[in-house]
């Protein structure tokens, strides 16, 4: 996939989803301003926003983009990378906005909190992307799995006291989720 | 060598099976396909474009199987869906830039080509003209029209020119307008 195609997908999707992105960022700012300083806030709340951003990319929400991407000369894994980048960037933005809210509220932000929040949010978002290609119970299960990803990352830090463990867990889940999404897109029949 | 060859191609959905469809289309040729239902017309168009994969029989695009070489097949074909596009004039340039990026076409060339085709499609509603313009800037060798509007047949034929054309229809009058 050329960088142009990647940025083309990114630009078109971000433009089409601009209202959702702005709404989630506004929500993250408000939550960051009022929430007490803790790891739970950014990890769990921003992961939830990441799931919302991933689901807003479901087939049928922007049909003209779906049709263009389905007929474009791209492999499923290439398209998956382009489409996954969109909610990941938007979700990372919500984390940064949340942290900005915390800073404005006078709370300190340890760099590790930012790192773990980014890692768990991106991993949860990538898992939630697989829910967009499914319906019914399977869709709900993938959403639950995405939420569980953030919970496990949070537990690894708070209970297991292992920041590298949490980051490694997020990296492995993110890698597997992206592969799974690419394979699903390659097999997907838009009928 | 035929550009599109479908032999007893079927597509099984949850409720019904579409097909079998058999046809052959040579470069530069035009073919209209009369279908019984709108669903059948849409499925046949997706099969011919290499977007949906046949459940049974075979579909070969430029002698390549879309199940094995989907990217090559999608370089050869371009699908114009039946549904009108919900984008307006202000988003046209953005749409052309997006299509050009996906098909790796030089932006300046894509815009010049889009303007040229737009001139040929004068009088056609934007909602129907934009997807056709978007499809043509990728320089396909085969255009597939899913239930195109018969009233715009002259403009569409002019814009498509010598490119092979397959159109699916549910009404005989619409099919004869593109024959």
- Helix ranges restricted to H, chain A: 3-16, 18-34, 40, 46-55, 63-71, 76-104, 111-131, 136-158, 163-187
* ipTM of predicted complex: 0.84
Has residue A189 got a pLDDT over 80?
no
Nearest-neighbour CA in chain B from A153: distance (Å): 36
Which H helix or E strand runs over B165? strand B164-169
Write down the mean pLDDT value for chain B.
Answer: 90
CB contact under 8 A, A75 and B46: no
Distance from the A3 Cα atom to the nearest Cα atom in chain B, whole angstroms = 9
- Judged against a pLDDT cut of 90, whether residue B112 lies above it is answered with yes
- Which residues of chain A lie closer than 8 angstroms to B72, CB-CB? 73
Hey, of A71, A75, A77, which one would you mutate to test binding to chain B, going by the most B CBs within 10 A of its CB? A71
In this predicted structure, what is the pLDDT of residue A3?
85
CB contact under 8 A, B74 and A71: yes
Residues of B in contact with A67 (CB under 8 A): 79, 81
Residue A184, burial from CB neighbour count under 10 angstroms (0-12, 13-18, 19+) = middle
How many interface pairs between A and B have CB atoms less than 8 angstroms apart?
65
> What is residue A62's DSSP assignment?
S
Q: What is the pLDDT of residues B46-100, one digit of tens each?
A: 999 999 888 889 999 998 999 888 899 999 999 999 988 888 888 889 999 999 9
Round to whole Å and give the CA distance between A128 and A171: 15
- Are the C-beta atoms of residues A50 and A83 closer than 8 Å to each other? no
Give the residue-averaged pLDDT of A20-49.
92
Q: How far apart are CA B175 and CA B148, in angstroms?
A: 9
DSSP B55-116: SEEEEEETTB-TTT-HHHHHHHEEEE-SSPP---GGGHHHHHHHHHHHTT--HHHHHHHHHH
Q: Taking the CA atoms of A189, A191, B2 and B5 in sequence, report the sign of the dihedral they define.
A: positive
Does residue A50 have a pLDDT over 90? yes
Q: Model pTM?
A: 0.84
Q: Can you give the pLDDT at residue A87?
A: 93
- Give the residue extent of every domain in chain A: 3-187
- Two tokens, residue B158: 């002019």
- B28: Cα separation from own chain's centroid: 14
Distance from CA of B15 to the nearest CA of A (A): 12
Quote the pLDDT of residue A110. 82
Element (H, E) at B44: helix B38-48
In angstroms, the Cα distances linking A102 to A34, A44, A92, A97, A121 are 8, 15, 15, 9, 17
pLDDT digits (tens, 9 = 90+) for B128-173: 999 999 999 989 999 999 999 889 999 998 899 889 999 999 988 8
- Per residue in B30-48, pLDDT (tens digit) is 999 998 889 889 999 999 9
Percentage of chain A modeled with pLDDT above 70: 100
Q: Say whether A12 and B78 touch across the interface (CB within 8 A).
A: no
Q: Which pLDDT score is estimated for A186?
A: 80
Nearest CB among A5, A63, A190 relative to B101 is that of A5
Q: Which residues in chain B are closer than 8 Å to A8, comparing Cβ atoms?
A: 97-98, 100-102
The pLDDT assigned to B136 comes to 94
CA distance B76 to B123: 28
pLDDT of residue A26: 95
Q: What is the pLDDT of residues A129-159, one digit of tens each?
A: 999 988 889 999 999 999 999 999 999 998 8
A82: nearest Cα among B166, B55, B63, B101: B101
pLDDT higher than 80, residue B19: no
Q: Minimal CA–CA distance to B136: which of B163, B102, B104?
A: B163
B175: distance to nearest CA of chain A, Å?
A: 23
């Amino acid at each position: 996939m050329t960088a142009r195609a990647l940025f083309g997908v990114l630009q078109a999707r971000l433009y089409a989803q601009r209202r959702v992105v702005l709404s989630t960022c506004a929500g993250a700012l408000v939550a960051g301003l009022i929430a007490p300083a803790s790891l739970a806030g950014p990890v769990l709340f921003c992961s939830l926003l990441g799931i919302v951003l991933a689901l807003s990319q479901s087939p049928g929400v922007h049909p003209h983009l779906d049709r263009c991407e389905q007929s474009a000369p791209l492999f499923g894994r290439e398209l998956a990378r382009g489409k996954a980048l969109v909610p990941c960037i938007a979700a990372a933005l919500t984390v940064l906005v949340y942290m900005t809210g915390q800073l404005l509220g006078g709370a300190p932000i340890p760099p590790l909190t930012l790192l773990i929040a980014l890692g768990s949010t991106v991993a949860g978002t990538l898992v939630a992307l697989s829910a967009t290609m499914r319906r019914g119970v399977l869709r709900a299960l993938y959403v639950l799995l995405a939420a569980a990803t953030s919970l496990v990352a949070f537990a690894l830090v708070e209970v297991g006291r292992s920041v590298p463990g949490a980051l490694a867990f997020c990296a492995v889940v993110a890698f597997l989720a992206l592969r799974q999404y690419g394979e699903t897109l390659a097999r997907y029949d838009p009928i | 060598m035929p550009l599109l060859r479908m032999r007893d191609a079927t597509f099984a959905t949850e409720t019904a099976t579409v097909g079998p469809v058999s046809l052959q289309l040579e470069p530069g040729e035009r073919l209209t396909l009369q279908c019984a239902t709108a669903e059948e017309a849409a499925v046949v168009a997706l099969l011919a474009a290499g977007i949906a994969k046949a459940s049974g029989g075979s579909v070969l695009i430029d002698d390549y199987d879309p199940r094995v070489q989907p990217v090559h097949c999608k370089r050869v074909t371009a699908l114009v869906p039946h549904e009108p596009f919900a984008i307006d004039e202000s988003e046209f340039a953005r749409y052309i830039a997006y299509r050009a990026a996906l098909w790796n076409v030089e932006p300046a060339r894509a815009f010049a080509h889009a303007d040229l085709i737009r001139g040929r499609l004068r009088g056609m509603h934007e909602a129907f003209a934009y997807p056709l313009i978007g499809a043509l800037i990728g320089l396909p060798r085969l255009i597939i029209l899913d239930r195109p509007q018969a009233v715009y047949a002259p403009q569409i034929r002019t814009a498509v020119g010598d490119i092979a054309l397959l159109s699916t229809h549910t009404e005989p009058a619409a099919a004869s307008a593109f024959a």
